A and B are shown apart, each in its own frame.
Chain A
C-alpha cells in the first residue's frame, strides 16, 4: 500500500513537471521497475475509469439499436420518402441497404461499446507500456545521437514518469466527460524527461522528443487512411449496389 501511495505521489510530481522528480527517477537504481509499475497502474486505472464511465453512458442513453430503428422509421414516415418511393419502386430496398451500412460504420466508430471498454481494461495498460517503450527507445537513440549522456535504463525510467500526465484521463470515470490536452502535456513531460535524463540543451532536447511521436503519428495517419479507404469502399459498393 505504501509503495502504491509513493508511486501515486511520484506520478503527481511528474504530472506537475517537477524537475527534481525526473532527476530522482533518473538516478534511482530501481527507476525502471518503478517506472514500469507507474505506467501499468496508470493504464489500468484509465481502463477501469473508462469502463465505469462508458457503463454510466450506456445506462443514461437509449440503446443504439433502438435509436437506429427509430431514426429509420422516422425517415420512412417523412413525406420525401413517399415521394421518392412513388417514383422508384426499388428505392425502399436501396435505402434499407445504405442505412444498414451507415449504421454499421457508426457502430464501428463508437469503438465497440461496452465490450470494447471491457477489452480496454486489458489493452489500455498494454498499449501504454508499448508506447512508453517505443517513445523511450526512439528518444534515447535520438538523444544519444545529439550528444546525450544517459543510459537506456535512465531514459526509460525518466520517460515513464512523463506518462503520469495520463492520470488526467481518469476523468473518464465521469460519464460523458471528454479528455483534452493530454497529448501536448505528454509531449512537454517527455521533453522534461529527456532534458533531465540526458542534460541536453533545449533545441536538441526538442528534436529528440519530437522524432518518436512524429513517426508514430505518420504510422497512425497511414493506418487511418487505409481504414478510411476501406470504409469508403464498403459504403460506395453499398450505394452502387443500391443504385444498380
Chain B
C-alpha cells in the first residue's frame, strides 16, 4: 500500500507502467482510495467531534458568522427596502440564535457524547465513498474521451490507475486549519490532476497532449454548456421582465 502511495505521489513512470499490467489493478486502486478516505475522514471526524462536543462553541461560531453577514449586508444596503431588511435581520438574530440553541439542547435517547461519536463515525465511513463518487465520474468521462481520441486501455486499468489521483488528497486531512487548509486542498487537487493525466497517458498509450485533452474534454464541455445555459436563462429573464 505504501509503495502504491509513494509511486503515485512521485509520478514514477516505471511504477505506473507496472501497475497498468498488474492483474489486480482495480483492487490496488480501490484500496488506496479506501485508506486515503479513512485517513482524511478520521482526522475530519475528530475535528468535527471536538467542535460539536460543545454546543456553546457551535452557537458562538454561528453568532460570529451571522454578525459578519449582517455587517456586510448593512454596508452594501443602498435602498430603503434593503436597509429595512438589514434592520429586520438585526432585530431577529438573537431570536434565531435562541432557536438554534433550543434545538441543540433537545434531549436524545442516547447521551450527547455518543451521538457526537456516531456522527463522527458516519463522516469517517462516508469519506472513502465520497472520494469514490468523484473518482468514478472523472474516470468514466476520461475513459470515454480517451477512447474517442484513440486510446487502447481497458476500463479496469483506467479505474485502478485513475484511483492513484486520490493519493494527494491525503492533504485534505489538514483542511480544518484556517487559510492553510484550503490552500493545501487546492495543491492536492492540482497534484491529483497531474497524476490523472499521467495515468491516462500510460493506460491508453496516448501522448501527454491527448491525455490532457481526454481529462479536460468533458469538464470543459460541461462548463461551456453551463455558461451558455446561464446566459440563456439571464437573457430569457431580462426579456420576460421587459414585457
A residues sitting closer than 8 Å to B (CB atoms) are: 16-19, 56-62, 66-67, 70-71, 73-75, 77-80, 168, 171, 174-182, 184-185, 187-188, 191-192, 202-203, 206
Contact = CB atoms under 8 A, between A and B. Distances in A.
A188 B123 contact: no
B102 A177 contact: no
Size bracket of the B interface? 35 or more
B53 to A, nearest CB: 14
B110 A59 contact: yes
Main secondary structure of the interface of B (DSSP, over half): helix
A74 B102 contact: yes
Interface in B52-105: 88, 91-92, 95-96, 98-99, 102-103
Contacts, number: 119
A19 B25 CA distance: 12
Nearest to B120: A176
Nearest to B144: A206
B149 interface: no
B18 interface: no
A79 B137 CA distance: 47
Lowest 8 A-B CB distances belong to which pairs? A176-B122, A74-B99, A180-B133, A78-B95, A181-B133, A181-B132, A62-B106, A60-B115
Nearest to A179: B129
B95 A180 contact: no
Given A61-B108, A178-B130, A70 B102 contact: yes
Contacts of B99: 70-71, 74-75, 77-78
Contact of A184 (B98, B115, B137, B147): B137
Contacts of B30: 16
Contacts of B13: none
A170 B36 CA distance: 20
Given A16-B30, A178-B130, 17 more contacts: A17-B26, A62-B103, A62-B106, A67-B106, A71-B99, A77-B95, A77-B99, A78-B96, A80-B91, A168-B129, A171-B129, A177-B122, A180-B130, A184-B137, A185-B136, A188-B136, A188-B140
Contacts of A19: 156
A178 B126 contact: yes
Nearest to A75: B99
A77 B134 CA distance: 43
B135 interface: yes
Nearest to B24: A16
B119 interface: yes
Given A176-B123, A180-B129, A181-B135, A66 B106 contact: yes
Given A59-B110, A71-B103, A74-B98, A176 B136 contact: no
B230 interface: no
B109 A16 contact: no
Nearest to A202: B147
Contacts of B106: 62, 66-67, 70
Contact of B155 (A62, A74, A191): A191
B197 interface: no
B69 to A, nearest CB: 17
B225 interface: no
Contact of A60 (B96, B98, B110, B140): B110
30 contacts: A17-B26, A17-B159, A59-B108, A59-B115, A60-B109, A60-B110, A60-B114, A61-B115, A62-B103, A62-B107, A66-B106, A70-B102, A70-B103, A71-B103, A74-B102, A75-B99, A78-B99, A79-B92, A168-B129, A171-B125, A175-B118, A176-B123, A178-B130, A181-B129, A184-B133, A184-B137, A184-B140, A188-B159, A191-B155, A192-B155
